[in-house]
Structure 1
């Protein structure tokens, strides 16, 4: 939590990362490659970067 240098409003930022197995969610499609291996990996990396600024008055239209 901090103060935005431009608007002087309260500001918060968060970051999160995780990994999931796509097959756990029923996403099982894949194609075998001629050279070996498969086209799509099982592990999915998810990354979130969130920034929020508190607005105390309505924006001008």
Structure 2
């Protein structure tokens, strides 16, 4: 339609334990239910102009 568009993307991760979120449950196989690392991915697209 001739509109200009702009796009952004960002990726990152954080550790749950850095924010005091330490809850977890042990699995019978020896692992844990919830990992400490959370991966974040953001993608934004917008029309600019009228």
TM-score by length of 1: 0.72
C-alpha RMSD of matched pairs (Å): 1.1
Higher relative contact order, structure no. (Cα contacts within 8 Å, ≥ 6 residues apart): 2
What is aligned with 1:52?
46
2:15 is the alignment partner of 1:41 = no
Number of equivalences: 50
- Structure 1 runs, 4 residues or longer, greater than 3 Å off: none
Over alpha carbons, which structure has the higher Rg? 1
Give 5+ residue unaligned stretches, structure 2. none
TM-score by length of 2: 0.85
Find 2:10's aligned residue among 4, 7, 16.
16
